[in-house]
Every structure is written in structure tokens, then in C-alpha cells.
Amino acid sequence: MQDKIVIADDAIGLIRDGDAVCCSGFVGIGTPDELITALARRFTDSGFPRDLTLVFAAAPGDGKDRGLNRIALQGLIKRAIGGHWSLVPKLARMATDNLIEAYNLPLGTMSHLYRDIAAHRAGTLTQVGLGTFVDPRQAGGKINARTTESLVSTIDIDGKTWLLYKVFPLNVALIRGTTADPEGNITMEREALVLDAQAIAMAVHNSNGLVIAQVERIAASGTLDPRAVVVPGIFVDRVVVASPDAQPQTYGTVYNPGFSSEITMSAATHECPLLDERKMMARRCAFELPLGGVINLGIGVPEVVGAVAAEERLLSHLTLTAEPGVIGGAPQGGLNFGAAVNMDALLHQNQQFDFYDGGGLDLACLGMAQIDRSGNVNVSRFGSRLAGAGGFINISQNASRVIFAGTFTAGGLEVVVEAGRLRIVTEGAQKKLVESVEQITFNGQLAAERGQPVLYVTERCVFRLTSDGLELTEVAPGIDVERDILPQMDFVPIVRKPRPMDPRIFLPQLMNLAAELLDSQLAQRLSYEPERNTMFANFEGMAVRSTSDIESVRRVFEAFCSPIGRRVSLIVNYDGFRLDQAVADQYFEMAARLQSQYCRSASRFTSCAFMRAKLQAAFCDATSTSHVCETHADAMTFAMEQHEAVADGVLQFPRRHHQPF
């Protein structure tokens, strides 16, 4: 068997002129710096290889010199196809200066392209990117005039328009792992993420290319747990052992065992900033957090939302996610962005975007740089500055609800809060609410057409997306619309009767938001059909983790039932319901008391067999008027059999998705 373990220079020496080189990495996580440095060294010393096509999803870089910034060398790179560009500014400058052909495609779509290249499919078919600068009816993702080949086309299927992203062969993969054996099997036990290493390696292997893996160490043959192998050795051609300084876990941390889930960290402490404009916006966003929901928080102001949620004791009711594959836990920021501690699970990046693109997010809270009258948002390009879309298009287009958060103006804005009132000390030099955004990264008109609820939160006011454009809905105390808002906009929004923003946002003490959100969001899950005297409780996706949660359920249920004045037929949806074992007995006792007092029958359904067994044990031994089943239809059948007041027909639950702002 050929020895796959070589030094970096020997591996990089196999790259040929004109090769398409695909590099893994998310900021510094999974970024193969030993290989990248060797490539830069070879070109600097010899002038070869030349005219490479560089392919990357999430920019492997630190915003300065590391990662792909090392190979931003004229003559080495002919074309670059990337999802995110702000952390590779040297490469971005080559693109904006028209020195190389360059494309910006959605990060999630780049991840999916790797799979489709591996499978030799015709392309990646998706609606992600419609109506944005990636749409071929706009720029098709092309960054400059030098770039002429179209990588994106439209296609109509059953009356709907889709985008087809073109596949292309990949000749070289540069990936990173933790441990390799002589056969090239790669594990990632010390990595914070697995990213797309497997998909990239498979795509290059199936394109008859060269797969080079950078690792920390070598294990003996046959000693790796096959379940821990992320990239099988059959995909890998060369293995390079990195020097220690070329393989930090992230660009911000040499190694944190919490990032690799080697240990569970003690309760994370979130440093919540003092009451500045970022915290004001984050506090307003926190009012929209769907308890029991799945959330993506972007960078910038959205990062502070997580700190506010921790401060307000909301984190236990939320599942935070990050686009490179993190489910649950506490996502990190800065040069640790992408990592998390105390994760529930870790997916491959392409799998995470399957979840996102399919509508898995209940809420996304993202940054904003420019907004126009139609609700379009630009975060990807401003003049000569190329930030790139990253995962923004996938996330914003497909989340059930979206909040964009950012300051009203930029460039020197200074505000103060005095006795709960906001005052603008110095206005920012650049307007962010413009007549037309420079580049559409989020299409407001299409969002309005599909009924997606969208909010735009600033430090001084809040806007809502309507079918007619942006409507001013809330104004901060101390802010005058004519003085502080309209003059700083290039267009006039819809203004009806904006209400004051919650005064607690502008006071230093805690807002005590947890109990309020629990009560208000629980109330939205309840409905009543007086003609049938039937009450519906949609507990889908809800979490009950403490005695205070139980008290909220009791309080809201009683407040809802008392005015009805008679005992009801109750139907409860328990799909996805999460109940901590420590409080399960208390919850069931409370529910039984409420049923006895307010219900003449109760039918509970869930597709989870384990939860059905728990519900059966808790309720069905006590009374024949309780029923536990698998489906909504079964629950309705029981209700109709028990009570003639329930008429024929299917009654719908109030949905937790697409709740209006």
C-alpha cells in the first residue's frame, strides 16, 4: 500500500497549473494553514502553480493575513468562487480590483454544490437566491466585469421558478482533521466543527482529483474507531502532519476542550454590555424570541441578543444554532465564531443548510447594513467593500420569521439614555435607510408575497414589512419622528400610528421578560371553538423545564378557561413537547387538576411513542374521559365519539410558525 503520509511541500507539489482547488474552513476552524502556507511558499519560490480556481464556502480567514489571505497572489489565482468574503480581504480586493474572475454564491448552496459534484448531478436546484444579486436576472453572483461565465440559471418547474447552480469539477481538496492512520482515514475529535470536509473529499475523489488532509497526529493502522472516521481513507491521497502553530482550534483559541465537546463547560457566563445602542436593539429583539423555538443569531447586534437572553434567563427555553452545524449550546463570537460550548448535536455544514433551507428555523436575527423602501436588505457589498453573503441568503429567505437589527445610521453615531429617554448626541455620517440598496441580499417584496413576517429593529425605532413596503411601527421614548427619523431616511415610510417602544428597553434594570414571554406565547397556543365547546392547546415544540414553567402553564390555562364558563372538550398537541424528568410529576399533577376543573374530556396526541406512554400513565388510568393517541385525526375521532357537540370536520390548531410580529 502506498504511504500517504508526506511533508506539506511534497503534497502541494502535486498541484498543477489551472487546477480547481477547494479549501475547507470556517474562520479558523478546519482551516488547513499548513497546506495553504506551503502553497503560498511554492508559488513565491517558483512561480508555480499558476491560474488556479479557488473554491470555498465560508471564508477560511481572520480578516487580515491568515487563511486564504496567504494565497491572494496575482498569477496564482485566476478565479475564485466563494460564499463569504469579509474574512479574506486580500482576496476580496483582488476581486473588486478586477484582477481575478470572482463569484459570490450563498454559503449553504456552496455546501450543497459539493454533494452534487460528488454525485455527478446536473447542478444544485434550489429557490435560494431568487430575487437577490445571485439571481441571473440580476448579477448571477458575478463580482466584477472580468467575470463573464454564468454559473446560475433559472428553470421553471410546475409553474415555479428555480435556480440551477452549475456544477464543475474539483481537482484538489485541502481539508483538515485531527488524527489520521496510514490508510488516510481522518477523525476530527479535537475540531470544533466537521464542516464539509467529507463532502469536499468525496467531490474531489469522484472528480479523479487529489485530496490532501492536514492533521495533528498519526495513529496506527486499525486503531481508529470507524464511527469516529469523518473522511474515509479511500477518499484521501496525501496526509500532512501540521506544525502546532498551523493548527489552532480557532483563530481566537489554541484549544478549548469545550469547543470539541471533550468536556461540558460550567454554566456559560455571557458578558452583557452596559446599556448602549447595541443592547437596546438586542433587548427589543428579545421580545420576539419564540420560547421552545429554534433560532439562528447572526453576527453584530444579534450576538448581543444571546447575552440579553442569558441575562433574562431565557436560554433554557431556546435552541440556538449556528450555520456551520451547531445545534444547541452557546455559540461563540469573534474569531471563535462557528464554535459552541455544551452543544446538543453537531451536523455537517451541508446538513445544517438542509435543515435551514427546509424551514427549520423559527426565527433568524441578522444584521443589516442598508435597507430600502421595499424592505430589501444589503449586507454583502458596499462600494468597493466586498463582504459577501455567507449564509445570510439561505437563512433570511427560509426562516419562519426574520428580524434585521442594526443602528439607524453609521459612521460616528453617538447616543445616550437619560432617565429612560433616548437622545441622539451625534448623528452617523452615513444613512442606512436608502432609496435603493446597492445589492439585494434579502428581497423584501418576495418576503411580503410569501407572507414571511419581517421586523427591522434600530436603536430609535422599529419598522415592519408590509405588502406596501416599510411601515414605522414603534418609536423610542425621547425620539421625535420629524426630527430624528424622517430626515435620516432617503424615503418616507408608511406612518400610521406608531406606538412607543417598551420603556423597559431603555432602563438599566432587568426587564423580567421570561415570565411575560411564557405567558404571552402560551396564550397564543390556545384557541376555543364555542360552537363545538372545544378547546385546542398546541404544545408542539414547547419546553417545560422548571416549576416556574409549570406555574406559567397553570396561570395561562386558568385565565383562558375561566371566562368560558363551562367545562370544555380539550384536545392537546404534544408533538415535539419537551418535559424535564425532574418536574414531570409536578407537571402531570397540575395538568390533571386543570382537566378535572375545566374539562369534560381530554384527548392528547403525539407521534412520539415514548411521550404517549408517559401521557397514558399520567392520565388514562384515572378516568375514561382521557384519551392518548398518535394523530390529530384520532384525537378528533375520540372527541366526536365522546361528545355530540363536536361536529364533523377537521379543526385546526393555532400554528406556532409564521406568527405575525
Report the catalytic residues: 323
Q: Is residue 465 a contact partner of residue 454, using CB atoms and an 8 Å limit?
A: yes
Helices 547-561 and 513-524, axial angle in degrees (round to 10): 50
**Which residues lie closer than 8 Å to 73 by C-beta, 6 or more apart?**
40, 43, 44
Direct distance between the N- and C-terminal alpha carbons of the chain, in angstroms, rounded to an integer: 62
What is the separation of C-alpha 52 from the centre of its chain, rounded to a whole number of angstroms? 31
SS3 state at 19: coil
177's torsion region: left (phi>0), alpha (psi -120 to 50) or beta?
beta
For the chain, give the number of residues: 661
The CA–CA distances, whole Å, from 659 to 211, 399, 401, 598 equal 47, 12, 8, 27
The three three-digit cell numbers of residue 160, written as one number: 415555479
Contact 395, 361 (CB under 8 A): yes
How far apart, in whole angstroms, are the C-alpha atoms of residue 112 and residue 284?
34
* Rounded Cα–Cα distance for residues 85 and 63 (Å): 9
For 153: left if phi > 0, alpha if psi spans -120 to 50, otherwise beta; the answer is beta
For residues 454 and 403, give the distance between their C-alpha atoms in angstroms, rounded to a whole number.
Answer: 6
Give the burial class of 43: count Cβ atoms within 10 A of its Cβ; 0-12 exposed, 13-18 middle, 19 or more buried.
Answer: buried
| φ, ψ for residue 513, nearest 5 deg | -80, -25
